[in-house]
Amino acid sequence: MNAIRTARERAREELVGKIKMSARHHLALQGAASLSLRAVARELGMASSAVYRYFPSRDDLITALIVDGFDSLGECAENAAAGAPPDSTPADRWQVVWEAVRAWAVANPHEYALLYGSPVPDYAAPQSTVGPAARVGLVLIGLVGEALSRGTLQPVERTARVAKSVAGELPNWAATRLVECWTQLFGLISFELFGHLHGVVEEPGEFFTQTVRESGAWLG
């Protein structure tokens, strides 16, 4: 019985994977706004009803792609931080993580656009996307917290306040500065991928690395 169930689970996972792969192909060609389950079913040579069995609506499929994208990006950031040399400082790992996030975005521009580009019309992301979306931020929070505990974090004056759920155990000035850096990270990447640096910066990668170095200097 277990063998039969396992075989069915494998078959289900394989089919779900094919549906998602086809959906990503459509993202690359037409964008999320034009994604439809019928088009995916057509590409896979399946009846629409078969696709609806796994994803009852277009929104369910988009949510699955968003969760996968955030999880992939988050895992990339986590692995970058964990893979840094043992004697690396929080500032060293800060740079490694930022570079890894950019590399993921450059390698997966359409997935990045789904996560951080224009909102998909008539789609509201459910609560299930929040945890995966927070993974990169949690890596950065961990690095700031480590620098604070080491006594290397350089204080900055900030009067704006961020939500307690974001700040956690960090003092408000550190949490506020962290949010500034977080928006800078994805702002830089978005400007590069969406063409806003064209004709402005000759080498986006070099510009990014320079900015990362300066943004991480406050970690000491």
pLDDT digits (tens, 9 = 90+) for 80-107: 999 999 999 999 999 999 999 999 999 9
Give strand ranges (E) for the chain: none
Same domain, 46 and 80: no
Count of CB atoms situated within 10 Å of the CB of 56 = 11
Residue type, 82: A
Q: Do 47 and 84 belong to one domain?
A: no
Residues 109 and 196 reside in one and the same domain: yes
My answer on whether 86 and 194 are in the same domain is yes
The dihedral through the CA atoms of 151, 154, 158, 164 has a sign that is negative
User: Is the CB of residue 4 less than 8 Å from the CB of residue 12?
Assistant: no
Residue pointed to by tokens 């224009």: 118
Q: Are residues 78 and 32 in the same domain?
A: no
What are 31-82's pLDDT values in tens digits? 998 999 999 999 999 998 989 999 999 999 999 999 999 999 999 999 999 9
Contacts of 141 (CB under 8 A, 6+ apart): 168, 170, 178
Is residue 220's pLDDT more than 90? no
Same domain, 104 and 27: no
> What is the sign, positive or negative, of the torsion defined by CA atoms of 178, 78, 204, 214?
positive
The whole-angstrom separation of Cα 124 and Cα 115 is: 12
Q: CATH number of the domain at 18, please.
A: 1.10.10
Mean pLDDT of the chain: 94
Domain end (from 12, 34, 56):
56
State the pTM of this model.
0.92
114 and 168, same domain (yes or no):
yes
Same domain, 89 and 141: yes
Tell whether 38 and 115 lie within a shared domain.
Answer: no
Domain count of the fold of the chain? 2
Percent of the chain with pLDDT over 70: 98
Pair 142, 182 in one domain: yes
Q: Do 97 and 199 fall within a single domain?
A: yes
User: Domain residues for 81?
Assistant: 65-219
